[in-house]
Amino acid sequence: MLKKLLITLGVFILVIGALMLVGKIYGEHHPNDSVVQGLNKYNPMIPKEAYFVKTNQPVNKEKLDKDFYNYTYKTVGYDEQGDGNKITYTATKKLKTNHYLKLTIKQGQVLNYSEVKTNDIPKNANKNLN
């Protein structure tokens, strides 16, 4: 009985691992598929990356409800090594310009952001932001 349980558990773990690997590979080849992005947000096989940006004016303001808006920002973000990448992110409030944010990105999708001080930004990224 215990042997069957262990075999079943082992097969289950292998299937879950295979599904996560397939999701990672498929997501790399289909970065604009919103369903895959949504699922891969929880995939531990896909690493999170930190990018640093300097806030600018929003490129779009979309009204969601009576007093609620979605602001879209486009900018270049820099990782810890100073490598740049074009980034689009949204906020539910208008952000102050010329402030610094740390964006957490997973497979091209911004998961969250937080404001950081200049001295908390890695030197290589900071050099490119200013």
Q: Which sequence spans correspond to the domains of the chain?
A: 2-40, 49-129
Nearest to 28 by CA among 109, 107, 104: 107
- 49-129: CATH, from 2.40.50.100, 3.40.50.720, 2.40.50.480, 3.40.640.10: 2.40.50.480
pLDDT of 58 > 80? The answer is yes
pLDDT for residue 100: 96
Q: What is the pLDDT of residues 28-46, one digit of tens each?
A: 888 778 888 787 888 888 8
pLDDT band with cut points at 50, 70 and 90 for residue 23: confident
Per-residue pLDDT reduced to its tens digit, 68-123: 899 999 999 999 999 999 999 999 999 999 999 999 999 888 999 999 999 999 99
CA 113 to chain centre: 9
Distances, alpha carbon 74 to alpha carbons 19, 64, 102, in Å: 33, 19, 14
pTM, two decimal places: 0.79
